[in-house]
Amino acid sequence: MLGFLFWLLLLFLCWPLALLALVLYPLFWLVLLPFRLVGIGVEAVFSLLRAIVLLPARVLGGGPVR
C-alpha cells in the first residue's frame, strides 16, 4: 500500500517518470526472478545440511525441550 502511495505521489509530481516506472517494474521483476529461485534453492540446501548435522543429537535426545 505504501508503494502505491509513493507511486501516486510520483504520478502527481512527474507523470512521465511514474508511467516509465509502471512499465519497467514487471521487467525488473522478471530479471530478478532467477536470483530469487536460486536463493530459495540455496536456503533449502542449507536447511537440509543443518538437519543432517543435527540428526545425531536429536536421536540421542538432545532435541527441543517440551
pLDDT digits over 22-59, tens only?
899 999 999 999 999 999 999 999 999 999 999 888 88
Residue 38: the pLDDT is 97
Q: Where residue 62 falls among pLDDT bands split at 50, 70, 90?
A: low
Residue 66 predicted with pLDDT over 70 = no
**How many domains in the chain?**
1
**Position 65 in a domain:** no
Residue 59: the pLDDT is 86
**Position 66 in a domain:** no
Question: H helices of 1-66, where?
Answer: 2-13, 15-59
**Position 27 in a domain:** yes
Its domain, for residue 20, covers: 2-59
**Position 12 in a domain:** yes
Q: Report the SS3 class of residue 62.
A: coil
Q: What is the Cα–Cα distance from 40 to 6, expressed in whole angstroms?
A: 29
Residue 65: the pLDDT is 60
How many CB atoms within 10 Å of residue 18? Answer: 17
**Position 43 in a domain:** yes
